[in-house]
Structures are given as C-alpha cells and as structure tokens.
C-alpha cells in the first residue's frame, strides 16, 4: 500500500480539487493519510489569490526540501494556482519537486504519477483546456459524511481589476447540466444530504453552453432530487445575480437561507476602478429584493480595503454600506498586488499602515454586527442538520442552521445526518449553543 498526504491551501474549490486528486490517485494504489511521515507522495495544493496565500504556499514547498533529502523516494507534487502561475520556474527555487500540475490538469495526475514513478524525471503540465475534464471526477465522501461539494464551472471571464483568477483558472466554462445532476443523484444515493455548488461566479452558469439553461434552472432541478435536503452555492458576482436566481430563494425549498455575495467596496468610485459593473446602490437593491423574497436570509460578503486610490472617504462609504446591510458575517482583506492584474499597474497605492488600520477598524465594526445577529437568535428554535461530533466536547454534536451558523448541543452520534430542531440557549461570535428539542421536525 502506498500513502498520499495532501496539504490544501485556499478556498472551497481547492479543498474539493484535493478530494478529486485523492480519488484519482486511489486508482494508482495510493490511500490518503494525515501522517506525512508515512507518505510515499505528498501534494501541496496551492492558492495565490492574495500575496499572503502565495507566501504560505512557497514556505510550505520549502519545507519539503528536508523531506526529500531524508526520504528521496517520496514523490513531491505541487498543484493549484501557484503551480499555474509559476510553472517550471518553481523548480529554480525547489528543484526537488517531481510534478507541477496546473488547475486544468487534475485529471492528468494518474498519468503524471505513473510516468514519474517509472522515469524519476520531473513532469510539468500546466496547459489550459477548454473542456471541463478536471471537474468531472466523482468523489464520494467517506461514509457518514453529510455534505459534499460539486463544481459546476471552471474559470472566470470577469477580470475584476484586483483578481488573478481569470489568469490562473482560465476562461469561464460550464459543465453540462446532465453531468452535474447525475453527480448529485449519485451523492444523494450515497447518503449526502447537503450539496454546495462551486464556481468562481456560479451566477453565470450556463452562459458558455448557450442552450438557455441557466443557474436558476439548475437550482430548481437539484431541488427535485430526492434526498438532497439542502443546497448552497458559492461564489457570486452581484451583477450576475438575476431576478430569476433571487426568486429561487422563495421557490426552492432546499435552497438554504444564506447567500455569500462579495461586494468588495461600498464606494462607487472604487467599484468602477475594480471593474465590478455595479454601484453600491445596485448592490443594496439586490439585498432588499433578497430580503423581500426570503426575510430570514443571512448575507455574508467579502471586502477589500486599501485598493489603489482608496481614500478615507471611499473607506467610510464601505462602512456606511456595512451599516445599512448589516452583514451576518464578512471576510475582509488588505489589498495586495497580484501579477498580471490591472490593479497591480495602478498608481496611488495605499500605505501598508493605512490598510492595516482600515482593516482593524472594519473588522471591529463587523464583529459587533455578527455578535448582535447571533445574540438575536437566543431563545429561537432552529432546524439543524447534524454534521458530526463537536470539536469541543465528546458529549456534543455539531450541525449548521440553514443560515450556515454552527450550533453545538448535547446529543449522540445517532443524530449525524439528521435534521433536528434545537433551541438556541447562548450565542457567541463564531457559533451558537443549543438544546435538542425531541420529536418531529
């Protein structure tokens, strides 16, 4: 038996890509391990969406130098966005790497591994392919797993000025609907209760297929698959969030009461420089529509502070938008230059200390909103899909509300995979404490 150790950085998409890598290499006799000491192959699946992520990936690759010295037979693979960005140039810094494979070449991994096992010469495979072959690997999660991810499209055509994704994940390409629906049916047969649809901009699903079947059609069709109790999707460009998709929040029972809708900035001037194609008013109007259709919807977002040229006034407009929307949660980042992007070439860069101060201020404000929202749930009764045992206590189980909040409560493992009712007894910043209400949901 050979063992595979995979380390994943970055987004949900990368986590799912890693699952697919493991599944493909099962066919080559590799079993997953969490113990790097046991590994015959290590893969680092990298992210380079922000500078910090890229630095982390570089230092992780650097750590494999000693591993290769101590155990030369171990194969070292580097995949993901950093591999796509650096290609064979990675070898200058890290000549011990055996396989460099880009974001469109996951399906080639078995062939690459076989080749390197035989020849012991390194392989680099970073070409782009239009077809979405790398996405179609069915990975059935381990038994007892409640939720799974399904990639519906690859790439992005939006070219937001700060974003490196279109250069590293290629042009937008949707998978055929029938493939996706078959995959979700197989997951449902396997006992999966919740699916999350993944793509850089799922709202424009179907555009490249040109057959009139769009994301709202897909949500409705998945809503009819027996056994799938919940579905979520990520991530969305607000401009492409159509009325039809918004309506699904009122029409498709399985669609969770949560949307992640990255706004990036509350300043129209900055949104324009970012090439986002909406104003803060347009964004706010979509939020109003969503709340009309689904009053309890939870809204989370991403914000970048310190985009080139961002003034104190622009930043305050972001705070104003936050005050009017009151996001349930917000992921915020300091702007960092990414190679090849338009923003990297823009003048008027914001000083590091200013970015840091703005980020701290914004995060402090958001914490008060997040906590307020959680606190408001105390005493309420919610439906929770139980995912597994709680990390904090062996007597507790952990699940999520439809709004994606974590709830911990006393309960045994029989509850895993079931949707139960719980009364919220205490709210914290990152989770809720509850008590099980016995009986029918």
Residues in contact with ligand 5AD by CB under 6 A are 49-50, 162-163, 262, 264, 302, 304, 333, 335-336, 338
Select the binding partner of residue 358 from ligand SF4, ligand 5AD, none (C-beta < 5 to 8 A, by kind): none
Among 148, 163, 270, 359, which residue interacts with ligand SF4 (rule: CB under 6 A)?
163
Instruction: Work out how close the CB of 334 gets to ligand 5AD at its nearest, in angstroms, rounded to a whole number.
Output: 6
Which strands make up the sheet holding 298-305, listed edge to edge?
258-260, 298-305, 329-334
Name the nearest CA neighbour of 416 among 141, 219, 224, 17: 141
Select the binding partner of residue 158 from ligand SF4, ligand 5AD, none (C-beta < 5 to 8 A, by kind): ligand SF4
Bridge-based pairing state of the strands 396-400 and 258-260: unpaired
Instruction: Work out how close the CB of 346 gets to ligand 5AD at its nearest, in angstroms, rounded to a whole number.
Output: 12
- CA angle 383/387/390 to nearest 5° reads 105
CA 91 – CA 99 distance, rounded (Å): 10
CA 103 – CA 106 distance, rounded (Å): 7
Based on the shown chain and the rule CB under 6 A, indicate whether residue 97 belongs to the binding site for ligand SF4: no
Select the binding partner of residue 201 from ligand 5AD, ligand SF4, none (C-beta < 5 to 8 A, by kind): ligand SF4
Instruction: Work out how close the CB of 305 gets to ligand SF4 at its nearest, in angstroms, rounded to a whole number.
Output: 15
Site string for ligand SF4, 200-229 (x = CB under 6 A): xx----------------------------
395-417 burial by CB neighbour count: b if 16+ within 10 A, else e? ebbbbbbbbbbbbbbebeeebbb
What DSSP string runs through 293-350? H-TT-EEEEEEEE--TT--HHHHHHHHHHHHHH--SEEEEEE----TT-TGGG-S-PP
Select the binding partner of residue 304 from ligand SF4, ligand 5AD, none (C-beta < 5 to 8 A, by kind): ligand 5AD
Based on the shown chain and the rule CB under 6 A, indicate whether residue 303 belongs to the binding site for ligand SF4: no
Binding range to ligand SF4, per CB under 6 A, among 158-166, 184-192, 265-273, 318-326: 158-166
Instruction: Work out how close the CB of 420 gets to ligand 5AD at its nearest, in angstroms, rounded to a whole number.
Output: 33
Based on the shown chain and the rule CB under 6 A, indicate whether residue 159 belongs to the binding site for ligand SF4: yes
Instruction: Work out how close the CB of 263 gets to ligand 5AD at its nearest, in angstroms, rounded to a whole number.
Output: 9
Binding range to ligand SF4, per CB under 6 A, among 142-150, 157-165, 381-389, 425-433: 157-165
* CB-based contact 35:74 (threshold 8 Å): no
Among 113, 165, 407, 415, which residue interacts with ligand SF4 (rule: CB under 6 A)?
165
Name the nearest CA neighbour of 223 among 199, 191, 187, 253: 253
Based on the shown chain and the rule CB under 6 A, indicate whether residue 168 belongs to the binding site for ligand SF4: no
- The set of residues, in sequence order, having a beta carbon less than 8 Å from that of 343 and lying 6+ positions away, is 161, 162, 273, 274, 307, 308, 335, 337
Question: 166 or 399, CB closer to ligand SF4?
Answer: 166
Question: 156 or 287, CB closer to ligand SF4?
Answer: 156
State whether residue 53 is helix, strand or coil: helix
* CB-based contact 44:7 (threshold 8 Å): yes
Instruction: Work out how close the CB of 163 gets to ligand SF4 at its nearest, in angstroms, rounded to a whole number.
Output: 3
CA 177 – CA 117 distance, rounded (Å): 37
Name the nearest CA neighbour of 291 among 258, 265, 267: 258
Question: 201 or 298, CB closer to ligand SF4?
Answer: 201
Question: 50 or 193, CB closer to ligand 5AD?
Answer: 50
Please list the helix, strand and coil fractions of the chain in percent, rounded to the nearest 5, in that order: 40, 25, 40
State whether residue 212 is helix, strand or coil: coil
Select the binding partner of residue 101 from ligand SF4, ligand 5AD, none (C-beta < 5 to 8 A, by kind): none
**Helix (H), strand (E), coil (C) string for 134-177:** HHCCCCCCCCCCCEEEEECEECCCCCCCCCCHHHHCCCCEECCH
Instruction: Work out how close the CB of 148 gets to ligand 5AD at its nearest, in angstroms, rounded to a whole number.
Output: 22
User: According to CB under 6 A, which residues from 176 to 205 bind ligand SF4?
Assistant: 200-201
Question: 237 or 301, CB closer to ligand SF4?
Answer: 237
User: According to CB under 6 A, which residues from 233 to 252 bind ligand SF4?
Assistant: 237
Instruction: Work out how close the CB of 233 gets to ligand SF4 at its nearest, in angstroms, rounded to a whole number.
Output: 14
Q: Which residues bind ligand SF4 (CB under 6 A)?
A: 156, 158-160, 163, 165-166, 200-201, 237
């Amino acid at each position: 038996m050979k063992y595979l150790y995979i380390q994943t950085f970055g987004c949900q998409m990368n986590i799912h890509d890693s699952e697919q890598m493991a599944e493909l290499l099962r066919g080559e006799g590799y079993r997953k391990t969490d113990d790097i000491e046991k590994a015959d192959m290590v893969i680092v699946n990298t992210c380079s969406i922000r500078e910090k992520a890229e630095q982390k990936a570089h230092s992780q690759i650097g750590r494999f130098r000693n591993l290769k010295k101590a155990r030369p037979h171990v194969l070292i693979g580097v995949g993901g966005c950093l591999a796509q960005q650096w290609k064979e140039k990675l070898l200058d810094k890290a000549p011990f790497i055996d396989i460099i494979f880009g974001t469109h070449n996951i399906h080639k991994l078995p062939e690459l591994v076989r080749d390197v096992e035989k020849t012991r010469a390194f392989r680099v495979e970073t070409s782009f392919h239009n077809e979405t072959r790398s996405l179609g690997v069915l990975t059935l999660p381990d038994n007892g797993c409640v939720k799974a991810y399904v990639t519906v499209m690859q790439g992005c055509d939006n070219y937001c000025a700060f974003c490196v994704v279109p250069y590293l994940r290629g042009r937008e390409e949707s998978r055929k609907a029938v493939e996706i629906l078959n995959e979700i049916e197989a997951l449902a047969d396997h006992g999966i209760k919740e699916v999350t649809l993944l793509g850089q901009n799922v709202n424009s699903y179907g555009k490249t297929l040109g057959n009139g079947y769009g994301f709202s059609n897909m949500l409705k069709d998945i809503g009819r698959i027996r056994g799938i109790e919940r579905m979520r999707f990520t991530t969305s460009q607000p401009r492409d969030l159509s009325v039809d998709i918004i309506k699904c929040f009122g029409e498709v029972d399985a669609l969770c009461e949560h949307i992640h809708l990255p706004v990036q900035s509350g300043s129209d001037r900055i949104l324009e420089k970012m090439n986002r194609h909406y104003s803060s008013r347009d964004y706010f109007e979509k939020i109003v529509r969503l709340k009309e259709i689904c009053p309890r919807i939870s809204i989370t977002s991403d914000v970048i502070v310190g985009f080139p040229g961002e003034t104190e006034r622009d930043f305050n407009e972001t705070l104003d938008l936050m005050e009017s929307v009151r996001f349930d949660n917000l992921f915020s980042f300091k702007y960092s230059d990414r190679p090849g992007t338009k923003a990297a070439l823009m003048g008027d860069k914001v000083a590091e200390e200013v970015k840091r101060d703005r980020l701290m201020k914004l995060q402090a404000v958001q914490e008060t909103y997040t906590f307020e929202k959680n606190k408001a749930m105390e005493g309420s009764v919610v439906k929770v899909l139980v995912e597994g045992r709680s990390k904090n206590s062996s007597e507790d189980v952990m699940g999520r509300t439809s709004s994606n909040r974590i709830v911990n409560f006393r309960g045994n493992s029989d509850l895993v995979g079931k949707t139960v009712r719980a009364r919220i007894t205490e709210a914290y910043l990152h989770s809720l404490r509850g008590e099980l209400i016995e009986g029918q949901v």
